Amino acid sequence: MTATPILDDEHIAKILRGITVPPQPQVIVDIHMEQAMPNPDINRIGKLISQDVGLSGAILKVVNSDLFGQKNHMTSIEQAVQILGLQTIIRLMEGLSIKSEMDDETIVALSSFWDSAMDIARAATTLARAIGYQALDRAYCVGLFHNCGVPLLYRAHPNYSEILQESYAYPSPRVIDVENQQLNTNHAVVGYYVAKSWGLPADLCDVIAEHHSMENIFRHRANSYDHGRKTLLAILKMAEHICGLHQTLGNCATDHEWQEIGEDLLTYVGLSDMDFDDLTAQLENQGVSGAGYYDQG
C-alpha cells in the first residue's frame, strides 16, 4: 500500500491556488473544537467538512491531484478525508482560513448561501435514493457545489445581492441572462470553472454550468442530451425547489423556473405530484430548511 504523501507548506500553497470559495466560519470553529479533543474523530471531521463548499472543494482538489494517483476522480468527501488524514486536513483548513478575507457584512450576506448549499445537498441525496439513482455521493456533490460561483460574485460585486434578486424576480429571461447582462458573466459559468479546478468529474462540472438552462435541455434537446446528466439536473432542480432557493437567494415568493419546467422533471424521473409532496414532507421531518415552504407553482 502506497504511503500517504506528506504535504509541506509549499504543496499546501500550490493546492490552495484558485480555491476562492470561503469556508463557513462556524464549520472552522467546529473542526478546531474536534481537533482539540483528546481523541479527535476523523469521521466527525469528515461530516463537518462535507457541509461546507469551500473546504469540500479543497479536499477534493487535493485527493484528485497527481500526488495521490487516484484512477478515477473522487466525489466522496468522507473517503477523501480518510485518505488525507487529520494533519493534512487541518493544514488545508488553516490555509483556507488565512486566505479568506471576508468582513462581517459579507459573512452575513453569504449565510443563506451556506445554509442552502447544505440543505440542497441533503435533499438531493434523499431524492436520488427515492428515484433509484445509485451514485448518492454524486447527487450530494452536485447539490453542495452547484452554486459555488455565488460567493465569488458576492465578493467581486458589491451589488450582487440586488442582481440576484432581480434575476429571480421574473419568468424570463433566465437567471443567468440577467447576470450576463449586468456582469458579463454568471454564477453557473464561474461555478463550472471552480468545480473543474477542484477535479470534479466532467459530468458534474457540466451540470453546474447548465443548471439554469433547463427548458433548453428538457425540451429543445430532450433526445440528444445525456441521460445521466439529465437525471442529475432533475434531482438538483427538485432539491432547489423543495428547499425554496428562490426565496433564500432570490427573495422571490415564486419559483419561476419550477413553474416552467417542474412537471417535465417529475415526468422524466417517474414521480407523481403526490410522490413529490411525500418526499417534501419527509425532508421537512428531517429538518431540511425550506422543505414544506415551496409554492405549488
Residues 68 and 114 in one domain: no
Share of the chain above pLDDT 90, in %: 37
Q: Cα(179)–Cα(113) distance, rounded to whole angstroms?
A: 17
- The conformation of residue 219, written as its DSSP 8-state character, comes to I
The reply to whether 94 and 112 lie within a common domain is: no
Judgement on whether residues 82 and 132 belong to the same structural domain of the protein: no
Nearest-5° angle of CA 234, CA 55, CA 156?
A: 80
Q: Is 123 in the same domain as 269? A: yes
Q: Domain end: 49, 72, 99, which one?
A: 99
Query: Does 48 reside within a domain?
Result: yes
Mean per-residue pLDDT over the chain, rounded: 82
Domain that holds residue 25: 9-99
Do 131 and 225 sit in the same domain of this protein? yes
What is the count of structural domains for the chain? Answer: 2
Residues 144 and 13 in one domain: no
Q: Is the dihedral of CA 243, 245, 248, 254 positive or negative?
A: negative
Predicted TM-score (pTM) of this structure? 0.76
DSSP E strand boundaries for 122-203:
none
Are 95 and 190 contained in the same domain? no
- Domain membership of residue 229 (yes or no) is yes
At 139, which amino acid appears? Answer: A
Q: Is residue 4 part of a domain?
A: no
What does the angle CA 197 – CA 201 – CA 206 come to, to the nearest 5 degrees? 85
What CATH number corresponds to the domain at position 136? Answer: 1.10.3210.10
Q: Which residues contact 256 (CB under 8 A, 6 or more apart)?
A: 168, 170, 171, 246
- Whether residues 16 and 142 share a domain: the answer is no
My answer on whether 89 and 116 are in the same domain is no
Peptide bond into 5 cis (omega under 30): no
Provide the 3-class DSSP secondary structure of residue 5.
coil
128, amino acid identity: A
Are 85 and 118 in the same domain? no
- Tell me the per-residue pLDDT of 28-65, one tens digit each, with 9 for 90 and over: 778 877 877 888 888 888 888 888 887 888 888 878 87
CA 250 to chain centroid: 17
- Residue 122's alpha-carbon distances to 25, 87, 138, 217, 221, in angstroms, are 20, 27, 12, 24, 29
Q: Could you tell me if 108 and 224 lie in one domain?
A: yes
Specify whether 52 is located in the same domain as 175. no
| pLDDT tens per residue, range 174-194 | 999 999 999 999 999 988 988
